[in-house]
Chains A and B, each alone.
Chain A
Amino acid sequence: NAGVMQNPRHLVRRRGQEARLRCSPMKGHSHVYWYRQLPEEGLKFMVYLQKENIIDESGMPKERFSAEFPKEGPSILRIQQVVRGDSAAYFCASSLNDGGPYEQYFGPGTRLTVT
């Protein structure tokens, strides 16, 4: 059973460009979480999604950031007009559907560098 997949693993963008980060959850999982790890810091929760629904986006910056988890395909974290402060590692985690337990399984992360 493949684990959580994230791509790309490394992404370089110039200031003002858009960044798209993809996350494919484990088979059978329909809950997805995104976390961000800034340099020298721990992971910070950004958003929690189920298929076609954003459940909790309280950790998302108010501007330029958006997330989706369509019925088909991976979850996408989109950052518009990137700035240097967006440089970080972005981790996706997935968990089971209803019935639990809802242990979160993490992907390897996408390292975003903004030049």
Chain B
Amino acid sequence: GDSVTQMEGPVTLSEEAFLTINCTYTATGYPSLFWYVQYPGEGLQLLLKATKADDKGSNKGFEATYRKETTSFHLEKGSVQVSDSAVYFCALSEKGFETSGSRLTFGEGTQLTVNP
């Protein structure tokens, strides 16, 4: 079945450092890929998405590129802020968001802490 593997955390960085969180996936067909963020005490929020190979999703300074050849969707940000401290989840959907019933398969989550 489908699966998502994220780099193990936690990750601790200083403000303005470069961030990479690795994500690789296994899926049949051509899934859509997502990064979700969870702030303390809140639900998951969609951070960015990519629906086909070579697509780049971006939002709030975060980017991730759908790499079919390496089955990866690594999350990057050039300069992190304290407010980016949260748990980040990589996820995939076989059907994408254009079809109803598209369940999500999540990675384990990576806790990011950014210190001032």
Interface residues, chain A, with chain B CB atoms under 8 Å away: 3-4, 6, 31, 33, 35, 40-45, 48, 55-56, 59, 91, 93, 95, 98, 100-109
Complex CA–CA separation, A103 to B6 (angstroms): 22
Choice from B99, B103, B107 contacting A42 with Cβ under 8 Å = B107
Shortest B36–chain A CB gap in Å is 8
A43 touches B106 (CB 8 A): yes
A17 CA to B108 CA, complexed, in Å: 29
| Sample (17) of A-B pairs whose CB atoms are under 8 Å apart | A4-B43, A6-B43, A33-B103, A35-B106, A41-B108, A42-B109, A43-B89, A43-B104, A55-B101, A93-B104, A95-B100, A100-B97, A101-B97, A104-B97, A106-B36, A107-B43, A109-B43
Set B6, B45, B103, B104: member contacting A56, Cβ < 8 A: B103
Task: Give the distance in Å from the alpha carbon of A6 to the alpha carbon of B41 in the complex.
Answer: 12
- With A31-B101, A42-B89, A100-B97 known as contacts, the answer to whether A106 contacts B107 (CB < 8 A) is no
Q: How far is it, in angstroms, between the C-alpha of A11 and the C-alpha of B18 when the chains are bound?
A: 39
- Least CB distance from B93 to A in Å reads 9
Contact (Cβ within 8 A) B99 A100: yes
Contacts of B109 in A (CB 8 A): 42
Q: How many residues of B contact A (CB 8 A)?
A: 23
Residues of A within 8 A of B4 (CB): 42
Q: Are A108 and B42 in contact (CB under 8 A)?
A: yes
- Contact (Cβ within 8 A) B106 A44: yes
Contact A102 B98 (CB under 8 A): yes
- Report which of A45, A100, A107 forms a contact with B104, defined as CB distance below 8 A: A45
Mark out the residues of chain B between 15 and 69 whose CB falls within 8 Å of any chain A CB in the assembled complex: 36, 41-46
On whether the beta carbons of A101 and B107 are closer than 8 Å, the reply is no
Given A44-B106, A98-B100, A103-B41 contact (CB < 8 Å): no
Tell whether, in the assembled complex, residue A103 and residue B42 are in contact, meaning their CB atoms are under 8 Å apart. no
A6 to B49, CA, bound (A): 25
Closest Cβ–Cβ distance, residue A5 to chain B (whole Å): 10
With contacts A45-B105, A102-B102 known, what are 15 further pairs, Cβ within 8 A? Answer: A3-B43, A40-B108, A42-B89, A42-B108, A42-B109, A43-B44, A48-B101, A91-B43, A91-B44, A93-B44, A101-B98, A102-B99, A104-B46, A108-B41, A108-B43
